[in-house]
Chains A and B, each alone.
Chain A
Amino acid sequence: MLHFLFRRVIQAIIVMVVISIISFLVQGRLGDPVQQMVGQSVSLEDRENLREELGLNDSLVDQYMRFAKNAIKGDLGVSYYYKEPALEVILRKVPATLELSFSAIVLIIVISIPCGVIAAIRPKSLLSKALMFFSSIGLSVPIFIIAIFLVYFFSVEWQIAPSFGRGETEVIFSFWETGFTSWDGLQHLFLPSLSLALALMPLFVRLIRSEMMEVLQSEYIKFAWAKGLSPMRIYFVHALKNTLLPIITVAGIQAGTLVAYTILTETIFQWPGMGFLFWDAISRVDTPLISAYLMVVGAMFVITNTLVDLIYGLVNPTVRLSSHGL
């Protein structure tokens, strides 16, 4: 077990090093930082001195080591636009993105489980067919088209939901501002989280359906019927419980897609989270911020994946075997 844990941690570190090299190259490759710092009138000699002072004449390896040391200390450079440490800027935006993703996940769970179960237990019914039909279409509509049309109908035509921003927010502790505590904040959450949910839901409806149908064929469900348990209990407790494990695995993989989709959703709804910040940073060529975002998102992925792997390894020892190529 310890061996397994050790390997995973080493792997995570290697991945982080690769990501940090990319971030370093982004930060260093783009433009001359000296040019950014001084005006046109500064003489060549002064520039050269400044280069020497900043260590820009050192070898790439030395420069990278310095970058990595700073990164470990949490110093990822200063954003050109915000004039603040890039890491702080990004961390301030994390709550907005997390709240958006959280609401979307809640919506997905609340809607896709009943839909998937219904489609599985009555596969021939009209409702199930309609559900499957819409999930096929849903799977084919890119998220930004969903978002555009939601804004068009809900905000512009019917005027029942706000189309941008987070609305009223309240500080819970230190930098965490929440939109959950006010009606206005919740209203603002509605459209962005709905678009995110609609984009990912069809996949889960279909997945729950197919897993559920398989489970319903199994012996122990037949046994449960024979025991005379109530249908609700069989479907939603016994059968559902056993469909969830593979679904959670897929959900873990889809978490990455969710992060990518937040960039699109946040851009359309001007949601002040990490995705919108990233998009903004690209158009402003705010290199330190871009490279810091890369590090932060990379770290998030690596940490969650390593944790998921470790938990799986603890729960299910066969995983350890399969990862060894058997």
Chain B
Amino acid sequence: MKNIAYLLASFFILTTSFGIQSAPLSMAFDADPVSLDPHEQLSEGTLQLSHLTFDPLIRWSQNGDIEPRLATHWEQQDEVTLRLHLRKNVEFHTGNAFTAKDVIFTIQRLKRSTDFRAMFDAIRDVKQVDDFTVDVITHQTTPLLLNILTYVFPMDSKFYQGRDEIIKHGETFASKNISGTGPFILKHRESGVRLDFVRFANHWDKQSKGNVDSIKMTPIRSDSTRLAALLSGDVDFIFPISPIDIPRVKRSPNIKFIGMQSTRILLLHMNQARRVEFRDQRVRKAINLAINQSLIVEKILKGFSEPAGQLSFSQFLGHVPEIKPVYDLEKAKQLMIDAGYEKGFRISMMSPNNRYIQDERVSQAIVAMLSKINIAVDLKTLPKAQYFQEFDKRSADMMMIGWQSDTNDSNNLFEFLVACTDPNTGMGAYNASSYCNAQIDERIRAANVEMSPSLRAKLLQDIERILAKESAVVPLLWQSLAWGAKQNFKIENIVNEQNFPHIGDLVVE
């Protein structure tokens, strides 16, 4: 009898406290951050960690607007100066108060980081105006300055001071210790196995409805194991869901599926330095025509991606709506005949097998498609750790790469993927086509300083048109992101196309 009363009582407490009750979250992602240093590697894992333990100055909201975080508001002082007003009464996990000094410290550190430097080279200096105001001064007019500032997660300068060296793959203070202002404090880390967080009680954002009090994050690399973990109720929230399993997830009543189109473009480079055949525009065009992007999306990605005929996603300024992926096998065969390669030729191709969604299957499908125009492909697929070494060496005639614009803008794609390779400026660093067109480089430079959106759009769209006309690369698709969670986890409100879920704001019912 007593027991029943007790049960009833606890049930009553449970139901009345509903809504303000906090909940633990157990999540499984495909990778964990390689280091605790937010500036060691520019990667999804690092930035996801940054969004948990740090707060950005500003961030992208779900609908693509810029949302104030540690910077409350800002105004343009002159052509090259942006004044940022910082949030007051913000505390780091160590208890240190957040001030302008931390922002200056962080931006200067970013300018030293090998991975972030390219983006922050645009900033000439950061000056303190008072304790909660800084001026960001650029070399020239920089239309994308705000986009760049979404990467500034102020670090606790008192905590890191004097022990803030950045060493890639090295053991440093910052790679083992972390202090930010973010909604969660890192409690425990076992690299490759788990990360434990607890909610930061003194977090400044009291408006947030988020009620996750602790996070257990596990990296699970195998798609099937990760999905099994969600289906069996072991974890509450996973990313990504393999397209193959999406129908299954949708069938499960307790699990919800959230899909979102991302701007990450997957493409193939045809190396003109290695293969004389690829210098012939007709051959490149034939390859573009022989590859059926829509079929790849439909069959391999189960419709969860967008077939691409150009690099810029439709939200980007450079997007040209008329350029669509075209599949025309007859025309492709004719072009091969015209080019004198009716009998075809044999090429080598490499792709990663654990980097992009279904990358291995996509590349296998491409082998089959190219065989229809008599191009025999020797395909090798490698894990990403080895693939990117080979990519840097340009080891194969055809190589796959995916790129997400760091600035949410077309020009970042062009600078890295199709600009003439220049080791001094870092332009064309990922151009494995050895394609080089002065007209494109000229427009990339012009777009970098053009403040008028309409003129910029024209420059960027011109680039897309030239690329399409010359069939410089083979755009394949824009990837989709797919998350899965238990029904009571309202992840639909906190995920975004950058794939930096704002878990601080996650509501659990």
Direct A–B contact in the complex, CB atoms closer than 8 angstroms: yes
Q: Which A residues form the contact surface with B (CB < 8 A)? A: 36, 39-40, 78, 80-84, 151-152, 155-156, 159, 161-165, 268-270, 272, 277, 280, 283-285
User: CB-CB < 8 A to A39: which residues of B?
Assistant: 114, 168
Do B225 and A83 touch across chains, with their CB atoms under 8 A apart? no
Q: Chain A residues near B383 (CB, 8 Å)?
A: 283-284
Q: Say whether B229 contacts A163, CB under 8 Å.
A: yes
Known: A83-B170, A268-B225. A285 touches B386 (CB 8 A): yes
A83 to B34, CA, bound (A): 10
B161 interfacial by beta-carbon distance below 8 Å:
no
B338 is an interface residue with CB less than 8 A from chain A:
no
Closest A residue to B222 by beta carbon equals: A270
Known interface pairs A165-B218, A272-B193; A285-B225 also in contact (CB < 8 Å): no
What are the residues of chain B within 8 A of A155 when measuring CB–CB?
A: 228-229, 231-232, 234
Q: Which of B433-481 contact A (CB under 8 A)?
A: none
15 pairs, CB–CB < 8 Å, chain A vs chain B: A39-B168, A151-B225, A156-B232, A159-B232, A162-B232, A162-B234, A163-B232, A165-B194, A165-B234, A268-B222, A269-B225, A270-B222, A280-B192, A283-B354, A283-B385
B191 touches A163 (CB 8 A): no
Q: Whole-angstrom distance between the alpha carbons of A82 and B190 in the complex? A: 9
- Count chain A CB atoms within 10 A of each CB in B35, B221, B233, B234 and give the residue with the most: B234
Q: Mask for B202-241, Cβ within 8 A of A = 1, else 0? A: 0000000000000000101110010011011110000000
| Interface contact B175-A83, CB-CB below 8 Å | yes
Interface size on B, residues (CB 8 A): 29
A164 contact from B175, B192, B228, B423, Cβ within 8 A: B228
- Please, which residues of chain A bring their CB within 8 A of the CB of B225? 151, 163-164, 268-270
Give the residue name and chain of the B residue nearest to A280 (CB): B192
Kindly list chain B residues whose C-beta atoms are within 8 Å of the C-beta of A272. Answer: 190, 192-193
Instruction: Tell which of A78, A270, A277 touches B220, judged by Cβ atoms closer than 8 Å.
Output: A270
Q: Does B171 contact A (CB under 8 A)?
A: yes
CB distance from A199 to the nearest CB of B (A): 19
Shortest A228–chain B CB gap in Å is 54
B343 touches A (CB below 8 Å): no
> From B34, which residue of chain A is reached at the shortest CB distance?
A81
In the complex the two chains form, is A164's CB within 8 Å of B220's CB?
yes
Q: Which residue in chain A gives the minimum CB-CB distance to B190?
A: A272
Q: Are A83 and B171 in contact (CB under 8 A)?
A: yes
Contact A156 B191 (CB under 8 A): no
Which residues of chain A are within 8 angstroms of B170 by Cβ–Cβ distance?
83
Chain A CB within 8 A of B163 CB: no
CA distance A176 to B91 in the complex (A): 36
**What residues of A have a CB within 8 angstroms of the CB of B168 in the complex?**
39
Q: How far is the CA of A284 from the CA of B388 in the complex (A)?
A: 11
Complex contacts, A268 vs chain B, CB 8 Å: 222, 225
Contact, CB under 8 Å: B232 / A81: no
Cα–Cα distance between A78 and B171 once the two chains are bound (Å): 10
When the two chains form their complex, are residues A164 and B385 in contact, meaning their CB atoms are under 8 A apart?
no
The listed residue (A36, A81, A159) touching B192 by CB distance below 8 A is A81
Closest CB-CB distance, A99 to chain B, in whole Å? 15
* Chain B minimum-CB-distance residue to A35: B389
Ranked nearest first, the 3 interchain pairs of A and B with the lowest CB-CB distance are A155-B232, A163-B228, A272-B193
Do A285 and B385 touch (CB < 8 A)? yes
Q: B234: which of A36, A82, A163 is its contact (CB, 8 Å)?
A: A163
B169 at the interface (CB under 8 A from A): yes
CA distance in complex: A156, B231 (Å): 6
Once A156-B232, A280-B192 are accepted as A-B contacts, the answer to whether A80 and B220 lie under 8 Å apart by CB is no
Docked pose: A284 CA to B211 CA in angstroms? 36
Instruction: Give the shortest distance, in Å, between B215 (CB) and chain A (any CB).
Output: 15
In the complex, the answer to whether B218 meets A284 with C-beta atoms within 8 Å is: no
**What's the least CB distance linking B387 to chain A, in Å?**
11
List of B residues within 8 angstroms of A36 by Cβ: 169
CB distance from B191 to the nearest CB of A (A): 5
CA distance A156 to B228 in the complex (A): 6
Give the residues in chain B near A84, CB-CB below 8 Å: 171
Complex CA gap A57/B193 in Å reads 38
A152 surroundings in chain B (CB, below 8 A): 228
Given contacts A155-B232, A162-B234, A285-B386, 16 further A-B contacts (CB under 8 A): A40-B423, A80-B169, A81-B192, A82-B191, A155-B229, A156-B232, A159-B231, A159-B232, A162-B229, A163-B228, A163-B234, A164-B218, A164-B229, A270-B222, A272-B192, A283-B354
User: A152, A164, A277, A285: which has the most chain B beta carbons within 10 Å?
Assistant: A164
Across the interface, A83 reaches (CB within 8 A) one of B169, B190, B222, B234, namely B169
B115 CB to nearest A CB, Å: 11
Q: In the bound complex, how far is the Cα of B225 from the Cα of A156, in angstroms?
A: 10
A151 to B222, CA, bound (A): 13
Question: Are A159 and B385 in contact (CB-based, < 8 A)?
Answer: no
Which residue on B lies nearest to A79, using beta carbons? B191
Residues of A within 8 A of B34 (CB): 81
- In the complex, the answer to whether A151 meets B228 with C-beta atoms within 8 Å is yes
Min CB–CB distance A80 → chain B (angstroms): 6
Within 8 A of A (CB), among B23-38: 34-35
Residues of A within 8 A of B232 (CB): 155-156, 159, 161-163
Neighbouring A residues of B234 by C-beta, 8 Å: 155, 162-165
Q: Which residues of A contact B193 (CB under 8 A)?
A: 165, 272
A131 to B233, CA, bound (A): 34
Which residues, 321 to 356 on B, are CB-close (under 8 Å) to A? 354
- In the complex, are the beta carbons of A159 and B233 less than 8 A apart? yes
* A156 vs chain B, min Cβ distance (A): 5
Contacts of A163 in B (CB 8 A): 225, 228-229, 232, 234
B191 partner residues in chain A, CB cutoff 8 A = 81-82
Which chain B residues border A83 with CB–CB below 8 Å? Answer: 35, 169-171, 175
Q: Which residue of B lies closest to A162 (CB)?
A: B234
Shortest C-beta distance, A187 to chain B (Å), equals 10
Which A residue's beta carbon lies closest to that of B114? Answer: A39
A284 touches B231 (CB 8 A): no
Question: Once bound together, how far apart are the Cα atoms of A216 and B171, in whole Å?
Answer: 64
Across the interface, which residues of A come within 8 angstroms of B171, CB to CB? 78, 83-84
Tell me the B1-39 residues at the A interface (CB within 8 Å).
Answer: 34-35
Closest Cβ neighbor of A82 among chain B residues: B191
Complex Cα spacing A216 to B220, Å? 51
**How many Å from the CB of B312 to the closest CB on chain A?**
29
Complex Cα spacing A159 to B169, Å: 40
- Bound Cα distance A269, B175 (Å): 29
Q: How far apart are A81's CB and chain B's nearest CB, in angstroms?
A: 7
Tell me the bound Cα distance from A106 to B233 in angstroms: 28
Interface centre among B169, B192, B222, B383, by most A CB within 10 Å? B192
A75 to chain B, nearest CB (A): 15
Bound together, the chains give a CA A280 to CA B190 distance in angstroms of 14
Assembled-state Cα–Cα distance A83/B41 (Å): 14
A159 vs B228: C-alpha distance in the bound complex, in angstroms? 9
Interface centre among A83, A268, A285 (most CB of B within 10 A): A83
B 360-382 contacts with A by CB, 8 A = none
Bound CA span A83–B168, Å: 10
How near does chain B come to A266, taking the closest CB pair, in angstroms?
Answer: 11
Docked complex Cα distance between A219 and B233 (Å): 58
Closest to B191 in A: A82
* Residues in A neighbouring B231, C-beta threshold 8 A: 155-156, 159
Cα(A80)–Cα(B41), bound, Å? 14
B-chain residues with CB within 8 Å of residue A283 when the two chains form the complex: 354, 383, 385
Q: Report the nearest B residue to A156, measured CB to CB.
A: B231
State the CA gap A164–B218 with chains docked (Å). Answer: 10
Q: In the bound complex, what is the Cα–Cα distance between A285 and B192 (angstroms)?
A: 15
Whole-angstrom CA separation of A284 from B191 in the bound complex: 13
Chain A residues closer than 8 Å to B175, beta-carbon distance: 83
